[in-house]
Amino acid sequence: MRHTEFWARMESALGSAYARTWSREHVIAGLGGRTVTQALEAGESPKTVWRAVWQTLGLPPNQR
C-alpha cells in the first residue's frame, strides 16, 4: 500500500477534515503507543499502520 492509498482510506473512514488531525492526536496501542503520524515517520509501512487503524476504529472487514 502506498501513502496515497493510505491517506485516501483514512479520509474515507474519518472524513477529509478530521483524518489528519486524528492521525496526529490519537495514540494507538497496536502501533507501540504511537500516533499514526509518529508510526509513519518512524518508517512503519502504511499497510501495517492501516491495519492498526482499521482495528482501532472497528471498521468492517471489506475495508481491511
Q: Give residue-wise pLDDT tens across range 4-43.
A: 999 999 999 999 999 999 999 999 999 999 999 999 999 9
- Using CA atoms of 31, 37, 40, 45 in order, give the dihedral in degrees to the nearest 10: 60
Mean pLDDT score, 39-63? 94
pLDDT value at position 63?
Answer: 85
Q: Residue 64's pLDDT band (boundaries 50, 70, 90)?
A: confident
- Tell me what pLDDT residue 56 has: 95
What's the pTM value of the predicted model, to 2 decimals? 0.90
CA distance 15 to 32: 25
